Amino acid sequence: MNAWIRLCVRLALVLVVAGIAMGCGGSGGLLTLDRIGKEDAPKTMTVQLNNSYTHQNATTQSWADGFEKLFTKFAKEHPDWKLELKIIPDAQTTQEQARLLEQARVGRAPDCANVDSFVVAQFIEQGALKPLPVSQEEIDGLFPFVKDVVVDDDGKMYAYWWATDVRMLYRRTDLVPEAPRTWDELIQSAKAAKQKDSKVDGYLFNGGRWEGTTFDNLAHFWSQGGELVDDQGKPIFGEGKNRTYMINMMNFLKEAVDSGASPKQVVTITDYAEFEAAAQAQTVAMFQGGDFQYPPLKESLPPEQFKKYEISLLPTMNPNDPQTTGTGGWTMGAFSDDPEKVKMCAEFTKDVYVGAGNQVTGQLPTNPELFDSLDKFQDPIYDQFKEALTYGEARPGVPVYPEISTQLQIAIGTVLTGEATPEEAVDTAYKASLSAYNELKK
């Protein structure tokens, strides 16, 4: 019997090895772990992709399956092309963008690659990205915040931003029946919710040391008309009206904690999953989160609890201020000097990611028309996400932004803990950011 088991194991191993040699998913050699297309295809293009957006996605099987089908379909429709893949682990995407920028500077970048939306401007300024062969109709169809990033002064599009996200206010309607329009209404509603149910926190938001804290809360700065940097990428958030707007933002966050509307523990929040956990435990009335939290909440909450939640645009300081919200996401860009490869990069992006990729991942499309045509986005909630994107604002793609973000994270933390006044925190963050900018200019 043991011999028979050993024989079965050996046969299984042989089949596994054979399967790997032939490619993934039984695609007949059209798709392997690091190649799309036949090995002997006459034309080759190198492509760098984030692990999430490939058939190697190990955390979300539906994404892996979806991209396997899309990659295989692309290979069948482009038999003359072989795409050699370099796949970047999700945990390394941030540092990999800096490496990619350096590779582009010395002419060693892949022909086609994922580029984070907030660094596209740096690649354009460096002259690393090649304009994509897309129609004016495609450009005109994009949300305004997308065009502001990927379309240069010459009117050409230098990266295809295909997936985005948006920040909104989640609230339990049994505790907060009406969506607050202003910061004051938010704080009042949060306090009222705690009076209705002492077990809940009125309002949760990102307040710890991570990018989400800066990015999410910048919406409250931008909605006043604030600008982080000038046209040269120099920090200006500590000057004139911008300083006033940033102090106003800090005062709002401080008042949320000091009033008891938000718990002091927000200064430790460094993961959106904490909002989902609070919702599951029924210990939060409102939180500022992302569209990407809607599907997991729908799956994890009992139906009677999920029905209590509604989503609304972010409140602002004044009732007539635009309800600006932060947006992020990924693009595809072409680095090759070969026009044929640039064209193929654009085709690969449009065939695999634009629309089809949104359908696989559920990440929001950057063309509002796709909300109407894709099955994934027919739930009425996506009408609200689409509306919010019209108020979208992207992070400035300037070299000093990471330092600005770090300094604002520190500033928010010191304000929330009472270590510094809003004025002191803003001035300290501005001084450090300006110093970093001057060092970069040397």
Give the model confidence (pLDDT) of 253-268 as tens digits: 999 999 999 999 999 9
pLDDT above 60: residue 3: no
The whole-angstrom separation of Cα 233 and Cα 222 is: 16
pLDDT at residue number 295? 95
Predicted confidence band of residue 442 (pLDDT cuts 50, 70, 90): confident
The whole-angstrom separation of Cα 317 and Cα 68 is: 47
Fold designation for 169-325+397-441: D-Maltodextrin-Binding Protein; domain 2 (3.40.190)
**Residues 273-301: what's their mean pLDDT?**
97
The whole-angstrom separation of Cα 175 and Cα 313 is: 18
pLDDT at residue number 272? 97
**Residues 139-168: what's their mean pLDDT?**
97
CA 102 to chain centre: 22
Instruction: Give one DSSP letter per residue of 15-82, joined into a string.
Output: HHHHHHHH-GGG-TTSEETTEES-TT-SEEEEEEEEGGGSTT-SS-HHHHHHHHHHHHHHHHH-TTEE
Give the model confidence (pLDDT) of 291-328 as tens digits: 999 999 999 999 999 999 999 999 999 999 999 999 99
The whole-angstrom separation of Cα 385 and Cα 399 is: 30
Numbered ranges of CATH 3.40.190.10 in the chain: 30-158+329-392, 169-325+397-441
The CATH homologous superfamily to which domain 30-158+329-392 belongs is: Periplasmic binding protein-like II (3.40.190.10)
Of 361 and 8, more confident: 361
% of residues, the chain, pLDDT over 90 = 92
pLDDT at residue number 94? 87
pLDDT at residue number 58? 85
pLDDT at residue number 22? 38
Separation in Å, CA 338 to CA 40, 58, 75, 233, 272: 20, 33, 20, 31, 42
Give the model confidence (pLDDT) of 396-434 as tens digits: 999 999 999 999 999 999 999 999 999 999 999 999 999
pLDDT at residue number 8? 41
pLDDT above 80: residue 25: no
Separation in Å, CA 344 to CA 44, 87, 237, 341, 358: 10, 19, 41, 5, 20
Tell me what the pLDDT averaged over the chain comes to: 93
Give the model confidence (pLDDT) of 166-189 as tens digits: 999 999 999 999 999 999 999 999
pLDDT above 80: residue 339: yes
% of residues, the chain, pLDDT over 70 = 94
Predicted confidence band of residue 143 (pLDDT cuts 50, 70, 90): very high
pLDDT at residue number 10? 42
